[in-house]
Copies of this chain bind each other. A is one copy, B any other.
Amino acid sequence: MEEKNVAVVGAGLVGSLLAVLLAKKGMNVDVFERRPDLRKAKAIGGRSINLALSNRGFKALELAGFADEIKSIAIPMYGRKMHDIEGNLTYQPYGKEDEAIYSVSRGQLNQKLMNLADDYKNIRYRFDHACEGIELDKNEIHFKNTSTNSLEKYNYQQIFGTDGAFSAVRGSLQKTPMFNYAQEYLPHGYKELHFPANEDGTHCFDKNCLHIWPRGEFMLIALPNLDGSFTVTLFFPMKGETSFESLDTEEKVVDFFEKTFPDTLPYLPNLTKDFFENPTSTLVTIRCNPWNFEDKVLLLGDASHAVVPFYGQGLNAGMEDCTILMDLMENYKGKPEDFLATYSEKRVADGNAIADLALYNYIEMRDLAGDEDFLLRKKIERKFSDMYPNKWMPLYSQVTFSHIPYSEALAAGNKQRKIMDEVMKMEDIHDVWDEPKVIEKILSLVE
């Protein structure tokens, strides 16, 4: 795969990382991006959930040599802190003591990756190039150069589409026979709000947690920023009795927050301004298959598998795409023309699995995270897992802290859920959960 001229369409997080990994293989990489260079443009806020980087993402960053650099702009979160309606807090660790997910700003991370990519002479960024599709028989990409307003056409030996959930590259693949595709919106959307830093620059809540206000049909979450602030996101029905549509006056918004999230109000000085000025964004799941077109085009990241943000794995999955692609390049023994198809066959099931896991986790976060039965389940699971780590790795840990393929984690998680269903049927389980018979029961059910 050496000495090739390739294009990466989309200079987001996955595109910039992929460019470096391909450049390290000796390829000449042109990275096209629809928008201007974000390092020169003004930051556009109000629209991006903070990202939670975890082990899969860091593995890819390590491969590029960037892991430490990125950790320096991230804040570790060791667990969830749930806020109930009276302001009582419940803490639930994500994993073992030193295991954490890392809050990082999308913009900062992207800038950092671009700066690091600039060190490679064989990477060239071309901003203001909006992809308008690919002529697949010629392997020719069409761009609208938005600074000159002209149409440009380029040929490459291979084209990597990392242009996100609404990928123009994928749009061209979608018109080919046998290309399966689905876009599915949740009836919920989200809006970004903000807890500013305290006057002394500290955080208003514990900064080493992901904060959740689970409220059944909806929830608020907060992730820490380096500057002492939190990025706050309300996940909420688009329509209906209590929804973005129904909260249509400042009074209604303040009233709703007073009743529903009272402990947040002191930290939301710009609540109504943010609520009405920030956009309401949608939550989409995108699946497709295959992810390649012959040996010419490959989709990675959100372009091939956009997921809802509730497992914090969207970016991690996209970065893992890069690790797996590089790994396959090292070890591939098949026909060169089948390489991209082999990658796709290997990886599609994992894209579908993380999409399913993320959809499920929304229910868990907004509805179950405050539920006693659910918390007991987690406690029993953790106890068993601590005693028999080789017999039970909690699903969350498999997804977040391991490199087990998502599809295998999902299957293992389904097995575990069935076992825990049985355990929770034991008499007086809330009283006897710490007794040896519970552990024995699980032992008898685990293979």
B-binding residues in A (CB < 8 A): 166, 174-175, 177-185, 238, 282
Contacts and interface: CB of A to CB of B under 8 A. Distances in A.
A178 B185 CA distance: 5
Contacts of A182: 181-184
Given A166-B175, A177-B282, A180-B185, 15 more contacts: A174-B183, A177-B185, A178-B185, A178-B238, A178-B282, A179-B183, A179-B185, A180-B183, A180-B184, A181-B181, A181-B182, A181-B183, A182-B182, A182-B183, A182-B184
Contacts of A178: 185, 238, 282
Contacts of A177: 185, 282
A306 to B, nearest CB: 13
Contacts of A174: 183
A61 to B, nearest CB: 32
Contacts of A185: 177-180
Contacts of A181: 181-183
A439 B10 CA distance: 65
A185 B182 CA distance: 11
A255 to B, nearest CB: 27
Contacts of A180: 183-185
Contacts of A175: 166
A11 B238 CA distance: 37
Nearest to A282: B177
Nearest to A280: B177
A282 B175 CA distance: 13
6 contacts: A174-B183, A177-B185, A178-B282, A180-B183, A180-B185, A181-B182
A43 to B, nearest CB: 23
Q: Which of A175, A178, A238 is packed against the most chain B CB atoms within 10 Å?
A: A178
A422 to B, nearest CB: 26
Contacts of A166: 175
A93 to B, nearest CB: 36
Contacts of A179: 183, 185
A350 to B, nearest CB: 19
A198 B439 CA distance: 77
A354 B174 CA distance: 24
A178 B181 CA distance: 16
A179 B166 CA distance: 13
A177 B279 CA distance: 13
Contacts of A183: 174, 179-182
Nearest to A288: B183
A299 to B, nearest CB: 16
A360 to B, nearest CB: 18
A183 B288 CA distance: 9
Nearest to A287: B182
A182 B182 CA distance: 4
A288 to B, nearest CB: 9
A238 B282 CA distance: 37
A238 B166 CA distance: 29
A183 to B, nearest CB: 5
A357 to B, nearest CB: 20
A303 to B, nearest CB: 16
A181 B178 CA distance: 16
